[in-house]
Amino acid sequence: MGYCSCSQLLSSLISFPKSCSPLSTTQVIPKGFGQSRVSGSLFANSRMQQTMSFATMQEDKGLLMKTSDDNSKLRIPHVLTVAGSDSGAGAGIQADLKACAARGVYCSTVITAVTAQNTVGVQGVDIVPEDFVAEQLKSVLSDMHVDVVKTGMLPSVGIVKVILQSLKQFPVRALVVDPVMVSTSGDVLAGPSILGGFREVLLPMADIVTPNLKEASALLGGVQLETVNDMRSAAKSIHDMGPRNVLVKGGDLAASLDAVDIFFDGENFYELRSSRIETRNTHGTGCTLASCIAAELAKGSSMLSAVKVAKRYVETALDYSKDIAIGNGLQGPFDHLFKLKHNIHNSWRPQAFDPSDLFLYAVTDSRMNKKWDRSITDAVKAAIEGGATIVQLREKDAETRDFLEAAKACVEICRSHGIPLLINDRIDVALACDADGVHVGQSDMPANVARTLLGPEKIIGVSCKTPEQAHQAWVDGADYIGCGGVYPTNTKENNITVGLEGLKAVSLSSKLPVVAIGGIGVSNARSVMELGVPTLKGVAVVSALFDRELVLTETRKLHALLKETPTHSN
Ligand SMILES: Cc1ncc(COP(=O)(O)OP(=O)(O)O)c(N)n1
Ligand SMILES: Cc1nc(C(=O)O)sc1CCOP(=O)(O)O
Ligand SMILES: [Mg+2]
């Protein structure tokens, strides 16, 4: 390839003026996005020392940022992908560009190899010389403010070293490593010699590494990975190589009905499940997932939240594209930009909502907080620490202004933990504090109106006591339903009890995931979950968590009990 001569030509044309320094300070224009930043990576820390304070970054509230060099200029979150080109455009650089575009993030590209590739396989690979990879990196990083670097196909250890040097010179906020080795068609994209480069150079710098089963096995010297437990051990061993977070992707796990991934942050394991989509169009899912994680990090998400959103995005894109036909080979590409072609409609609405979040749903209560003399924020922190997977603020007696202030603080807390926060009844408060969504009852704002007000990306839950109401909630564009009261409760006056039979009937009929509510606690949660209906994802609880002295302890107890209850999903 003519890269060298081309690069000589370009270097004579390009100079890097001092004013283009990538190390300019930033100032953020609040746009109500309000997500916590990735906690300081190696790069973030070194960047912090050289330039802006990382604390300032953590206070970022928006997607649109101003550079302090020129206050009239706005910039959008920026991912740089360092990867190979796929002529069929299903994977590699092309997938990364489409994924970032779909997630609303700017994407620049450094090409490490050019592949001649289609849906049948890889017909040829031409590796870009190391010095020209270095030159591309310098061009982008010295001029543009890159938030996150994502790596894909790295065909030589020399290229890995070039990336190390470039990132030392031009630190970024996070590094996402997709340790690509073999294409979906089974063709080798980076031979075993790359493993040393991954283990010794790239992983110790990475904020997250996202191996599939084969890649995880290769990184670990060829161990067999056949079960979810094997994936957990692999995540732990790979974490020991230095990355801050590990996502082992279990898409190829033979025995599993769902697509199960294991996320490990060095302390906790998270089993992330999504339904397995029956389709041949899976070429490029790994690149897309990693790019989407990078895009969400660039916007300011926490790592767990970025991973969840990315997984959901890939699942939705695969589902949308399952029947499209591009090429004659065994593994076709999918359509990243499905969002552009569809009006807002249930099935294709891009959702950040993961039904497994309904597992342990903590619903606060203003009277109980008052009774136990604790603030809403302390109640929420304790519930999250105890294992709550989603939180709803149900503050019936609070003054609007106080409620809004508390809700804003709770949004910050929940976002930093990757836990969705919903507001009960009050669409106005949900909008004002940029909560993740609302929960409405049959006499509150109708769900379809709430959807119009909140837009496609917010979560909407609806209380339903009958299959008809559950059907209407689905038609109206809700994300889940709350079904109760399963047992009598003192928390909600004049509440009709539907019992386990009512819950079962509603859950069996529902197209939406269901959370059970009403009089549920450690004494009866097991009976609820043992109904074993696939749509029934968890329990929502008020008094058993909050009408207690020790919220953390009670939440922990209930979480442990739910974990050991055999259900459809665990
Ligand atoms: C998860 C969940 N399910 C049901 C309800 C009840 O909502 P609603 O019927 O609107 O009653 P109030 O909570 O407003 O009294 C809920 N809040 N959460
Ligand atoms: C808020 C609410 N909604 C219900 C419904 O049936 O829709 S029952 C309920 C109260 C749940 O509180 P506790 O866990 O203390 O019983
Ligand atoms: Mg209500």
Q: Tell me the sheet residues that pair with 333.
A: 283
Task: Verify whether residue 287 is a known catalytic residue.
Answer: yes
Q: Identify which of 358, 425, 463, 469 to mutate to test ligand 1's pocket (most ligand atoms within 8 A of the CB).
A: 463
Beta-sheet pairing, 148-151 with 258-264: unpaired
pLDDT category, 73, cuts 50, 70, 90?
Answer: low
Enumerate long-range contacts of 369-376, CB under 8 Å, 24 or more apart: 369/546, 370/397, 371/547, 372/546, 372/547, 372/548, 372/549, 374/551, 375/406, 376/406, 376/409, 376/410
Q: What is the pLDDT of residue 5?
A: 30
Q: What is the pLDDT of residue 258?
A: 74
pLDDT category, 336, cuts 50, 70, 90?
Answer: confident
Q: How far is the CA of 518 from the centre of ligand 1 (A)?
A: 9
Q: How far is the CA of 446 from the centre of ligand 1 (A)?
A: 13
Atom 12 (ligand 1) nearest CA: 441
pLDDT digits (tens, 9 = 90+) for 108-165: 999 999 999 999 989 999 999 999 999 999 999 999 999 999 999 999 999 999 999 9
Q: How far is the CA of 302 from the centre of ligand 1 (A)?
A: 28
Superfamily covering domain 355-564: Aldolase class I (3.20.20.70)
Catalytic residue among 285, 364, 535, 555: 285
Strands, E, within 222-355: which ranges? 246-249, 258-264, 269-275
Mean pLDDT value of segment 252-281: 84
pLDDT category, 179, cuts 50, 70, 90?
Answer: very high
Q: Identify which of 371, 466, 489, 558 to mutate to test ligand 2's pocket (most ligand atoms within 8 A of the CB).
A: 489
pLDDT digits (tens, 9 = 90+) for 256-270: 667 789 999 999 999
CB 503 within 8 A of CB 476: no
Task: Verify whether residue 497 is a known catalytic residue.
Answer: no
Q: What is the pLDDT of residue 42?
A: 34
* Ranges of each domain in the chain: 6-340, 355-564
Task: Verify whether residue 285 is a known catalytic residue.
Answer: yes
CATH architecture of 6-340: 3-Layer(aba) Sandwich (3.40)
- Closest ligand to C-alpha of residue 392 is 1
pLDDT category, 418, cuts 50, 70, 90?
Answer: confident
Q: Is the CB of residue 150 below 6 angstroms from any atom belonging to ligand 1?
A: no
- Write the ipTM: 0.97
**Ligand 2: nearest atom to the Cα of 424:** 1
Ion ligand 3, residues whose Cβ is below 5 A away:
425, 441, 444
Q: What is the pLDDT of residue 77?
A: 92
d(CA 207, CA 45): 12
CB 303 within 8 A of CB 311: no
Q: What is the pLDDT of residue 123?
A: 92
Q: How far is the CA of 539 from the centre of ligand 3 (A)?
A: 17
Q: What is the pLDDT of residue 89?
A: 94
pLDDT category, 315, cuts 50, 70, 90?
Answer: confident
Catalytic residue among 107, 287, 292, 433: 287
